[in-house]
Amino acid sequence: MPPRARTVAAVGAVALALAGAGVPVHGAFAHFELSLYTQSSCFGNDVDPVTNVYWDDSTGARATNHVEYHTGWTNDQGSMQWFTSHERCFEPYAQRASGGLTSSRFHTRLSPLLDTTPWWYSAGAAHHEDFTYCGHAVDKTVNGWSGFDAGRRAIYLTMRAAHEYDYVNYGNTRQFRQCDGAYAGLMRRRDAWLTATAAAAAAVALLALAGVVRGERAARSFDRAHSDFDPVGVREFRAFPLYWVGESHDGLGLTAITRRTPEPGADSADYVAFLYGSCRAPPGSGCALPLEIQVWPGCMRTLADYRLTPFSNDPLPHETLVVRRVPAAFFRESPASARLELYTGTVTVVLFGTQRERLVAAAEAIRGVNVEAGPEEPLPPPAPGAIEGRLTCNDAATTA
């Protein structure tokens, strides 16, 4: 993938076929399809981003055996989360962790998928989690790096020696509030699908898949302890234009403002996020707030970044539309969630939520934070080359 490749959602795919092994194709689905997040129940709320896809004769048993062999993670304890594919939900086939329920540890859940063409697939959701006063909580994001990134990276490092790799981008960077109140999300922008370089080797692939509060109560709901800006200070931000829906929208108060900067020397996230509403994360789990607005430099995230698999240039399925007179794209990320992206000026505005209509309504209501732009007014057209992925960060800085 070119050096420019950006934002990510991690899905690791592991090819587990031995030399000469056949791959049945009867009953195959016409296209690879996977929810980008695990769910709290069958078609329940989103909990964790999917970080790995295991492919090539990868049954649940084979994926589990190879993960355990390469990582050395043998503990099988963890809370239940579901995977979805082709409108069906699945309990994890297995869980593997580097420690028990009362220790900080690496942990992954694994589940076979329905797709069988051209390979059998399984999915995994990996992370590093700390044992806290409320149970396990995924490491919060610091400098563009979270426990989700650490889990995906751990699997990659233990399997990469004999494997080639490629990069893909799903854009599943939504943040999840943990039971300790901190926020964690899949931040790394580049991830790999790896294929075997030795005939009898296991081929591993990492697919970078990377309360209602109203009016006067909004200020009291703001989570200053877990925010990088307050609603006044964020107006002084100058790195790139920012957009939000104010301190409340559709009955949802502004809860937090987070800043994710690239990890030094690494290819990671760069955005400011505005989180609205509330959710209560149970012990050992996470929850997504009803509305999140992330603003990225257009040189770091745009529509051209996404593709379905590393095996073709097929785009990630989406609906194209026009909102506020600028190009936009709608993605259904899971049965419980969706995202809408607006490409305007030198930035990409990413709205995470549940329903298409509510995301479009929020997009119609966004306004400038550090730039002049009122709700429902036309937004600036995207900078030349931004949607096609040709905008460099030097160009973006000059244009801004």
What residues pair up with 121 in beta bridges, in sequence order?
A: 55
Q: Do 238 and 305 belong to one domain?
A: yes
Q: Do 173 and 234 belong to one domain?
A: no
Q: Which helix (H) or strand (E) holds 351?
A: strand 347-353
Query: 74 burial class (0-12, 13-18, 19+ CB within 10 angstroms)?
Result: exposed
Residues with Cβ within 8 Å of residue 368, at least 6 apart in sequence: 241, 242, 243, 374
Determine the pLDDT at residue 362.
97
Q: Which of 387, 207, 175, 139 is nearest to 294 (CA)?
A: 175
Domain end: 156, 189, 207, which one?
207
CB 158 within 8 A of CB 70: yes
Q: Which of 86, 14, 110 is nearest to 317 (CA)?
A: 86
Q: Do 138 and 172 belong to one domain?
A: yes
Task: Enumerate helices (H) and strands (E) in the chain, giving the number of each.
Answer: 5, 26
Mean pLDDT to the nearest integer, 19-40? 56
Confidence of residue 31 (pLDDT cuts 50, 70, 90): low
Whether the CA torsion 99, 101, 107, 112 is positive or negative: it is positive
Mean pLDDT to the nearest integer, 215-229? 72
Confidence of residue 264 (pLDDT cuts 50, 70, 90): low
Q: Is residue 2 part of a domain?
A: no
CB 244 within 8 A of CB 229: no
Confidence of residue 57 (pLDDT cuts 50, 70, 90): confident
Q: Do 196 and 71 belong to one domain?
A: yes
Domain carrying residue 360: 215-399
Share of the chain above pLDDT 90, in %: 53
Whether 383 has a pLDDT exceeding 90, the answer reads yes
DSSP H helical segments within the chain, as ranges? Answer: 60-71, 147-159, 218-221, 356-365, 393-399
Q: Do 50 and 133 belong to one domain?
A: yes
Q: Is residue 359 part of a domain?
A: yes
Q: Do 386 and 274 belong to one domain?
A: yes
Q: Do 150 and 229 belong to one domain?
A: no
Mean pLDDT to the nearest integer, 53-78? 88
Q: Which of 253, 165, 236 is nearest to 204 (CA)?
A: 165
Neighbours of 3 (CB within 10 A): 6
Neighbours of 334 (CB within 10 A): 25
Whether 212 has a pLDDT exceeding 70, the answer reads no
Mean pLDDT to the nearest integer, 239-247? 96
Q: Is residue 5 part of a domain?
A: no
Rounded to whole angstroms, the Cα distance separating 194 from 217 reads: 50
Q: Do 332 and 375 belong to one domain?
A: yes
Q: 86: helix, coil or strand?
A: coil
Across 132-146, 218-232, 369-383, which has the greatest mean pLDDT? 369-383
Q: Is residue 3 part of a domain?
A: no
Amino acid, res. 311: F
Whether 368 has a pLDDT exceeding 60, the answer reads yes
CB 174 within 8 A of CB 339: yes
Domain end: 139, 174, 207, which one?
207
Per the omega criterion (within 30 degrees of 0), is the bond before 118 cis? yes
Whether 27 has a pLDDT exceeding 70, the answer reads no
Please tell me the total count of domains within the chain: 2
Rounded to whole angstroms, the Cα distance separating 156 from 144 reads: 18
Q: 153: helix, coil or strand?
A: helix
Ranges of beta strands (E only) in 179-220 are 183-185, 191-196, 203-207
Q: Is residue 4 part of a domain?
A: no
Determine the pLDDT at residue 163.
54
Q: Do 130 and 269 belong to one domain?
A: no
pLDDT greater at residue 61 or residue 363: 363
Whether 392 has a pLDDT exceeding 90, the answer reads no
Mean pLDDT to the nearest integer, 210-225? 54
Q: Do 82 and 99 belong to one domain?
A: yes
What residues pair up with 338 in beta bridges, in sequence order?
A: 332, 353
Q: Do 32 and 147 belong to one domain?
A: yes
Determine the pLDDT at residue 385.
93
CB 349 within 8 A of CB 373: no
Rounded to whole angstroms, the Cα distance separating 327 from 388 reads: 12
Rounded to whole angstroms, the Cα distance separating 284 from 43 reads: 19
The CATH code of the domain that includes 370 is 3.30.200.100
Q: Which helix (H) or strand (E) holds 271?
A: strand 271-276
Residues with Cβ within 8 Å of residue 396, at least 6 apart in sequence: 240, 297, 298, 299, 346, 383, 386
Q: Give phi and psi for 151, each to the nearest 5.
A: -65, -45
Helices 60-71 & 147-159 angle (0-180, nearest 10)? 90
Determine the pLDDT at residue 8.
34
Domain end: 175, 207, 239, which one?
207
Q: Do 23 and 158 belong to one domain?
A: yes
